[in-house]
């Protein structure tokens, strides 16, 4: 009955608290460098990302980060960039904003990455932009076409990459207005900035009187029957999807079951034919497949894998065969590699003395060129990526571009054809 022991008992939990926190305190320390740039050594640069490896957005999108990693492995095998090998750490956030926050904070504060590369998703990445910019962490080439990444004054470290949804919506909208004049148009949109930005572009070109129904879905809620039924009831003849692949597939299957057969137009991010074919087969237990989406209209800003004569397609096919052969040769893989290429080009332009600021400066001023059918918008006052798209149709599980690439702005500017030929990659994947 020693009073000391009794007091000790009571102090037990305080002690446990100290021990537990001491354990994690020491394990986490030493991750961030002192005066040097975090994540950068003479021989390596470590970057991180949040990706939907599981959850509603995973089908298709889970191929992107492995493809990027494969491209980095190819670059590393060829000596790296400025003597540095690229170490790419991507973590699953399940397309859940809550998890994005914790994953990104752990990458930046605990792992001590140099920057975040190609963080995927509009609802997810919007939650970490202010954190990354407050910590002056380069936030390069966000895998989303939200306008939110082009805020150079409030988010100077954040850069978009793919064509933004408003530009894309304008180009798709103009095509619909010209080729389906007088038809009843309906929208099926993700209920966040992804859908809203696309809607803004579409509304810019399609007369408001033509749009008879606007339906929204919440990612995660897979019951889309009411929305599709409402579109059918409104007599929609042209249906525009700004959807992730899983919801394009759900829309197609539900419409098919309801005997609803509009002309479907789908945003690039939700239209990869191989991904959709696999999803359709999976959701319908094999009853449906890629034939359901034959004739779908979409767009692309990268040369599709079907154009086997294209030098970029050849480069990516080679890297795929060497480092990522287990993945299908589809739009997601090309997306991951093309984004990785852009990072590699920026890293090269940032020079030997790599800092967080130097790579931001490089992206803004180096006139990066890459695998796009259209150029990037990057400048000190513009952080959006590709400035347009080329229209395409989907048939036989492949993307078939038609017409010339079109460019525009994210305001009310005109849509103009872009005829400059693509740059070509060097043999090692980096422009000389």
Partner 1 sequence: MTELSSAPAGDNLSASPPTGTAAATPAPPRRRVRDSALIRHLAITALAGVVLWLLSLWLTPFNDLRLANGAYYFVTLAGLTLLTGLSGQISLGQGGLVAAGAYTSALLMANNHWALIPALVASVVVASLVGGLLGIAAARLRGPYLAGATLAFALALPGITDRFAGTFGGENGITTNAPVPPTSLGANFSPERWQAWIACLAALVVLLLLLNLSRAGTGRTLRAVRDDEVAASLCGINVARTQVSAFVVSAACAGVGGALYVEISNLAAPDAFAVTLSLSLLAGVVLGGLGSLAGAVYGSIVLVLLPNWSTDLANDLSLNQQVSSNLPLAFYGLVLIIAMLAAPRGIQGVVLTVTRWLRSLRAGPPDTLTPAASTPGRIDTDTSTGGEG
Which residues are at the interface with partner 1 (CB under 8 A)?
A: 1-18, 20-21, 24-25, 28-29, 31-32, 53-54, 62, 92, 94, 96-99, 101-102, 105-106, 109-110, 123, 126-127, 130-131, 134, 191-193, 216, 218-221
Backbone angles phi and psi of 20, in degrees to 5: -60, -45
Kindly give the pairing relationship between strand 296-300 and strand 388-395. antiparallel
* Smallest distance from partner 1 to CB 10, Å: 5
CB atoms within 10 A of CB 82: 14
Looking at residue 216, the DSSP 8-state letter turns out to be: E
Kindly give the pairing relationship between strand 238-242 and strand 398-401. unpaired
Separation CA 91–CA 107 (nearest Å)? 9
* Smallest distance from partner 1 to CB 224, Å: 13
* Smallest distance from partner 1 to CB 244, Å: 12
Separation CA 57–CA 92 (nearest Å)? 11
CA 122 to mean position of chain CA atoms: 8
* Smallest distance from partner 1 to CB 93, Å: 10
Nearer to partner 1, 174 or 332 (CB): 332
Kindly give the pairing relationship between strand 388-395 and strand 406-407. antiparallel
240, 185 in Cβ contact below 8 A? yes
Nearer to partner 1, 1 or 208 (CB): 1
* Smallest distance from partner 1 to CB 111, Å: 9
Kindly give the pairing relationship between strand 211-217 and strand 263-266. unpaired
From the list 173, 233, 166, the residue with the least C-alpha distance to 208 is 173
Nearer to partner 1, 29 or 420 (CB): 29
Angstrom CA distances, 366 to 115, 136, 174, 182, stand at: 19, 20, 32, 45
**Across 52-161, where does the E strand assignment appear?**
85-92, 115-117, 139-142, 158-160
Backbone angles phi and psi of 82, in degrees to 5: 50, 40
* Smallest distance from partner 1 to CB 66, Å: 10
Nearer to partner 1, 213 or 392 (CB): 213
* Smallest distance from partner 1 to CB 99, Å: 7
* Smallest distance from partner 1 to CB 191, Å: 5
Nearer to partner 1, 42 or 223 (CB): 223
């Amino acid at each position: 009955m020693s009073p000391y022991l009794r007091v000790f008992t009571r102090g037990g939990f305080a002690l446990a608290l100290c021990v537990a926190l001491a354990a994690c305190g020491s394990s986490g320390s030493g991750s961030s460098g002192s005066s040097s740039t975090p994540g950068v050594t003479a021989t390596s640069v470590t970057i991180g990302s949040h990706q939907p490896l599981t959850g509603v957005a995973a089908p298709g999108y889970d191929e992107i980060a492995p493809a990027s990693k494969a491209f980095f492995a190819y670059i590393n095998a060829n000596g790296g960039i400025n003597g540095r090998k690229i170490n790419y750490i991507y973590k699953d956030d399940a397309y859940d904003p809550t998890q994005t926050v914790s994953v990104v904070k752990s990458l930046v504060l605990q792992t001590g990455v140099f920057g975040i590369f190609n963080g995927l998703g509009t609802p997810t990445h919007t939650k970490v932009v202010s954190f990354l910019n407050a910590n002056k962490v380069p936030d390069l080439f966000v895998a989303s076409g939200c306008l939110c990444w082009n805020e150079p004054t409030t988010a100077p470290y954040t850069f978009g990459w793919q064509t933004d949804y408003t530009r894309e919506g304008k180009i798709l909208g103009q095509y619909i207005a010209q080729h389906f004049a007088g038809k009843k148009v309906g929208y099926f949109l993700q209920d966040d900035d992804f859908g809203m930005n696309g809607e803004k572009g579409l509304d810019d070109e399609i007369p408001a009187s033509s749009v008879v129904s606007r339906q929204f879905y919440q990612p995660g809620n897979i019951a889309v029957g009411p929305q599709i039924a409402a579109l059918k009831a409104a007599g929609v003849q042209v249906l525009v999807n700004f959807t992730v692949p899983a919801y394009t597939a759900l829309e197609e299957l539900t419409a098919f079951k309801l005997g609803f057969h509009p002309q479907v137009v789908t945003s690039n991010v939700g239209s990869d034919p191989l991904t959709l074919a696999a999803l359709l087969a999976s959701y319908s237990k094999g009853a449906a497949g890629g034939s359901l989406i034959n004739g779908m209209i979409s767009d692309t800003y990268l040369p599709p894998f079907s154009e086997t004569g294209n030098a970029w397609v050849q480069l990516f096919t080679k890297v795929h065969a060497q480092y990522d052969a287990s993945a299908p040769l589809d739009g997601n893989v090309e997306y991951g590699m093309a984004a990785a290429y852009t990072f590699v080009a920026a890293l090269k332009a940032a020079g030997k003395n790599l800092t967080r600021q130097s790579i931001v400066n490089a992206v803004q001023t180096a006139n990066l060129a890459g695998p796009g059918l259209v150029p990037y918008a990057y400048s000190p006052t513009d952080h959006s990526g590709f400035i347009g798209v080329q229209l395409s149709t989907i048939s036989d599980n492949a993307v078939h571009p038609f017409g010339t690439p079109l460019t525009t702005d994210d305001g009310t500017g005109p849509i103009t054809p872009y005829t400059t030929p693509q740059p070509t990659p060097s043999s090692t994947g980096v422009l000389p």
